[in-house]
Amino acid sequence: MSLRRVRAIARKEFLHVLRDPRSLAMAIAIPMLLLVLFGYALTLDVDDVPMAVWDQDGSPASRDLVSRFAGSRYFLVRAYVRTYRDLEEAIDRREALVGLVIPPDFGGKVEAGRTTPVQLLVDGSDSNTATIAIGYAEIVALTHSQDVTLRVARRLGAAAPRAPLDVRHRVWFNTDLQSKNYIIPGLIALIMMIIAALITSLTVAREWERGTMEQLISTPVKGTELILGKLIPYFALGMLDVLLAVLMGQFLFHVPLRGSVALLFGMSSVFLIGALSLGLLISIVARNQLMANQIAMVATFLPTFLLSGFMYAIPNMPTPIQVITHVVPARYFITVLKAIYLKGVGLEIIALDATLLTLFGVAMVILAHWKFRKKLV
């Protein structure tokens, strides 16, 4: 292999990217735009759930309960209604996601130390948000119930009841339970996979469409040299994208990076080589830019978004789908990124995922080289 010929091919690709604003925008601007859009728009945090209240009692006890909901970070009282019809209309118009109904005799029963029911109506059209909102409401109601029980016991001169369990939770790695702290590392993998495969999926196909591939074939350039020369410029652009994404995550989204920066970039380079080689393989097989672009989107975006654990927990998927996820390389890279970002672990903990990513990169390089040699014959 001649380094001189590799350098010449790499220089040619660098010049092509620099002279083509669309390629440069795809390589740099689009990843940053996607990171900003996904980073701000994609969130799994459920705060300020809109609530409508029908307080049929109007007593200090009922107002105290409503204030508990209004004072929490989870609920935002949007409306006070007087009938069930008004409550239903508020939910139908999306003015409220939940409705709190307090019965007329609520205050009297509370002061007497008796159990009193409170109704919570929830819009289940968004099942995930509704489930989280119900959990929040149960926590607020349970806390208020414990405070009321303690207050009544003190007023009656009885001993304060003691809970059979004293549960004190401690959250590791993502103390504030902010979804952006694990979404942003996943976004880095998603963007790298899509962009890397897209930008390289056009390289060889473009040579065939423009008729320059025959000229390259007639030169002493070997298949290995051509593939390596075409990968080097896009690898440099990909690592620049990783650097910009890490900086944006650190300073724009304030995502903590607790692990080794060197390990992060090292694993990113391994994954990037595999993703670029996959795009090059698609370009070699397709020999058409439009088809290569479409195949790259289907082969990278959908599996990475749906089957990598980025959006949906893999253990919650059906067993056949869980088996399929093992061939999605982004699954292992997202695991590595989250471990480095949030847990600050070393290579000894992520050794298996790192090995599988390395195998993916090596396999893609070998397949691209083998397929390209087959086309030259």
Question: What is the mean pLDDT of the segment spanning 217-222?
Answer: 70
What pLDDT sits at residue 157? 67
Four-residue CA torsion sign, 171, 175, 179, 185: negative
pLDDT at 190: 83
pLDDT category at 101 given cuts 50, 70, 90 is: very high
Query: Between the CA of residue 292 and those of 22, 30, 194, 198, 253, what are the distances in Å?
Result: 17, 19, 13, 8, 34
Highest-confidence segment of 44-48, 140-144, 216-220, 225-229: 140-144
Average pLDDT score over residue span 326-344: 92
- Residue 87 or 280, more confident: 87
Q: What's the confidence (pLDDT) of residue 39? A: 78
Task: Report pLDDT digits (tens) over 3-23.
Answer: 777 888 788 778 877 777 776
Residue 140, token pair as written in the block: 């607020």
Determine the distance from the C-alpha atom of residue 324 to the mean position of all C-alpha atoms in its chain, rounded to a whole number: 19
Residue 352 has what pLDDT? 94
Res 331: pLDDT: 92
> pTM for the complete prediction?
0.79
Residue 374, pLDDT > 50, answer: no
Q: CA-to-CA distance for 107 and 267, rounded, in angstroms? A: 61
Which alpha helices (DSSP H) does the chain contain, by range? 3-19, 21-24, 30-41, 60-71, 84-92, 106-111, 127-155, 180-201, 203-210, 213-218, 223-251, 261-286, 289-307, 319-324, 329-338, 351-376
Higher-pLDDT residue of 245 and 25 is: 245
Strand 75-80 to strand 98-102: parallel, antiparallel, or no bridges (unpaired)? Answer: unpaired
Alpha-carbon distance 26 to 290, whole Å?
15
Q: How many CB atoms neighbour CB 356 within 10 A? A: 17
Contact status, residue 231 vs residue 21, Cβ threshold 8 Å:
no
The residue-averaged pLDDT of 344-350 equals 90
Q: Tokens 């088809």 sit at which residue?
A: 291
Q: Which two tokens stand for residue 131?
A: 């489930």
Lowest mean pLDDT among 166-170, 265-269, 366-370: 166-170
Three-state DSSP at 252 gives coil
pLDDT of 325 reads 92
pLDDT of residue 377 exceeding 80, the answer is: no
Residue 158: what pLDDT? 64
Instruction: Assess whether pLDDT exceeds 50 at residue 376.
Output: no
Query: Would you state the pLDDT for residue 214?
Result: 62
Helix (H) or strand (E) holding 51: strand 49-55
R_g of the chain computed on alpha carbons: 29
- Report residue 2 CA to chain centroid gap: 42
User: Does position 109 have pLDDT exceeding 70, yes or no?
Assistant: yes
Cβ contact 316:307 at 8 Å: no
Q: 252 burial class (0-12, 13-18, 19+ CB within 10 angstroms)?
A: middle
pLDDT at 162: 66
Q: In CATH, what class is 49-155?
A: alpha beta
pLDDT, residue 260, reads: 92
Using pLDDT thresholds of 50, 70 and 90, give the confidence band for residue 215. low
- In the chain, where the domains are located: 3-43+178-376, 49-155
Taking only the tens place, the pLDDT of each residue in 53-76 is 999 998 988 999 999 999 888 899
As a whole number of angstroms, the distance between CA 102 and CA 52 comes to 11
119-122 vs 49-55, strand pairing mode:
unpaired
Least confident interval from 250-254, 309-313, 318-322? 309-313
Distance CA 52, CA 120 (A): 10
pLDDT at residue number 128: 81
pLDDT in tens, 163-214: 566 667 777 887 777 778 888 888 888 888 877 777 777 676 676 666 666 6
- Answer yes or no: are the C-beta atoms of 200 and 298 closer than 8 Å: no
Q: How far apart are CA 341 and CA 322, in angstroms?
A: 25
